[in-house]
Structure 1
Amino acid sequence: MKIGKKWLAALALTVGVGLLVSACGSGSQQSSGSAAGGSAEDKVYVVGTDAAYPPFQVLEADGKITGHDIDVMNAIAEAGGFKIEWRNTGWDPLFDGLDKGTVDIGISSITITEDRKKKYDFSDSYFEANQLILVAEDSPVTKLADLQGKNIGVQAATTGEEAVKKAFGATYEGLKGYDDMPSSVDDFFNGRVDAVVGDNGVIAFYAKKNPGKTFKLVNDDSFEKEYYGVMVKKGNTEIMAKINDGLKKIKENGKLQEIYNQYFGNN
């Protein structure tokens, strides 16, 4: 999962999308919004994301942000009875925005880690994730350990990279880090790396965007389960209570599972 990724510069630019989610479930676009000011009833919370991580966050050609996490946060806000405005901050600026107060909420496939919890507060988990290994269809690889001596592509500064370093050492010569997952998958299909290790949803998404090419995805039980959460600045208990309330409701009424099924199937 993402620890500190940097995507293409064009996608890292801040884009105000202005999608408001009202308590009644309808959305309207606004050209402005702020993380500060306004009464509790009128307040619009700015939600930052890095819209370059399909199928979780996607920046469409028309400037609209779509994806699994976007649908989840919209549903949380609707169920929790508060309004939000979307902003494509990029990855690093998302954390900076929370620190400075220009962003109220962060959701961007953010893995809940002990290190992050020192500085930020997280909601209950909304997604369970794990790493997958992308290899050739006829590869004998059945687990991460089988990649010893192989060239392994990862997205730099992710838990996929950490998993490879943990298995083979921090200075493993076969490790090749990329700024984004598509580049690592492209190099795999072009024969520049023997395997790719990355997030289950994302790696499967990019692999399947290469029709006609053969591959297989290997799940290793040694990979630790990871959990995505909605993030706020530490101590922001007011909005966190609203987020967890909305999340609890969409878990109970089946909406969260419905969104999952839409993107990942009924499994």
Structure 2
Amino acid sequence: MKPTLALAALALSATASLAQDLPDLGGREIVVVTENAYPPLQFIDASGAAVGWEYDAMAELAERLNFTVKYETISWDAMIAAVSEGQFDLGMTGITIRDDRKEKVDFSDSYMTSQMVMMVRGDETRFSDAAGFAADPNLLMAAQPGTTPFYVGVYEVLDGNEANPRIKLFETFGATVEALRAGDVDLVLTDGTAGAGYVEASNGGLKIVGDMLGTEDFGFIFPKGSDLVAPINAGIAALEADGTLEALNTKWFLDYKMGQ
């Protein structure tokens, strides 16, 4: 057997073995909560259906681990507390894995890595990077309290003051984008994942400017001590090993057109 064919055969064998070794959750119902406001991870499409990268990934996990999913929705600012209190079994909405959050919830392994970007209106000319934004006291930023974009805005763009009046707080990420479109604020910080989705759907109304402001890993969240963490981690590893995660990236970040 040629070396390349031998390697391919070994990879297929390892993937098949991994799939066979996955835990079986016996049809258990898992209540998953999300925000449905973070395209293309999860959002409501033009037909009114809840779709996105995370929905597809969860469907794959449910099939491979043998569980059923019941979806609920909640605002971002209530999600971590609600999952921590055991109101839901799992939370998904592009949640950055952070040590302070680990004090309240357990995280899965990372299923995606993204970078923070600056999203502005398509006709913005007053600034083109973080330093330019910070230098103009008349410019305002929108953020959700307690999120990674909020902390990046406070500590990497502005002056480290979490009460800085230049940061306007909103309950949902979608509301921050609408405030940007309306001219009520001038900047929304977001990971490249969501930013690319909104820019694609804006028909020139939004754009990304400046350099990347950092890297973040996304994970699912669970109540502390949840017995679901290990099975979900095994499932994530299987999806990565057989190329499913990469296929989802291609589907949602390259092929999918927002608004279709």
TM-score (norm 1): 0.72
Judging by fraction of residues, say which structure has more helix. Answer: 2
C-alpha RMSD over aligned residues: 2.8
Q: Secondary structure at the match of 2:93?
A: coil
Q: Does 1:220 align with 2:220?
A: no
The alpha-carbon distance between structure 1 residues 118 and 182, as it changes in their structure 2 partners (threshold 3 A), is closer
The yes-or-no answer on 1:205 pairing with 2:193 is no
Mean CA deviation greater in 196-205 or 247-256: 196-205
The AA in structure 2 aligned to 1:77 is A
Based on CA coordinates, which of the two structures has the bigger radius of gyration? Answer: 2
Q: What are the ranges of 5 or more consecutive residues in structure 2 without an aligned counterpart?
A: 1-18, 256-260
The CA deviation at 1:262 is: 0.9
Go from structure 1 to structure 2 and tell me whether the alpha carbon gap of 1:186 and 1:43 turns closer, same or farther (over 3 Å shift).
closer
Which deviations, in whole Å up to 9, do the C-alpha atoms of 1:134-184 show, x marking residues without a partner? 235563644312212241332221222211211322243432233333443
Partners of 2:151 and 2:144 lie apart in 1 by 9
| Pair 1:193 & 2:179 matched | no
Q: 1:194 offset after TM fit, Å?
A: 3.1
| Identity fraction in percent | 28
Separation in structure 1 between the aligned mates of residue 48 and residue 170 of structure 2, nearest angstrom: 25
- Tell me which of 239, 250, 253 is aligned to 2:242: 253
Whole-angstrom CA distance in 1 between matches of 2:119 and 2:169: 15
Name the structure 1 match of 2:132: 146
User: Where does residue 109 of structure 1 map in the other structure?
Assistant: 94
Q: 1:46 to 1:185 in 2, by over 3 A?
A: closer
Q: Is the Cα–Cα contact under 8 Å of residues 25 and 67 in structure 2 kept in the other structure?
A: no
Where in structure 1 are there 5+ consecutive unaligned residues? 1-22, 24-38
Amino acid at match of 2:68: I
- Runs ≥4 in structure 1, deviation > 6 angstroms? none
Tell me which amino acid in the other structure corresponds to 2:74.
Answer: G
Equivalent of 1:88, from 65, 72, 76?
Answer: 72
Is the CA contact 1:182–1:206 (under 8 Å) kept in the aligned structure 2?
Answer: no
Q: CA deviation digits over 1:89-129, x for unaligned, max 9?
A: 31355434433434222222111110111122111101112
Whether 2:30 is the aligned partner of 1:45: answer yes
1:126 to 101, 111, 125: 111
CA distance in 2, matches of 1:100, 1:188: 33
Q: Name 1:156's counterpart in structure 2.
A: 144
User: How many residues of Structure 1 are paired with residues of Structure 2 in the alignment?
Assistant: 225
TM-score normalised according to structure 2 size:
0.74
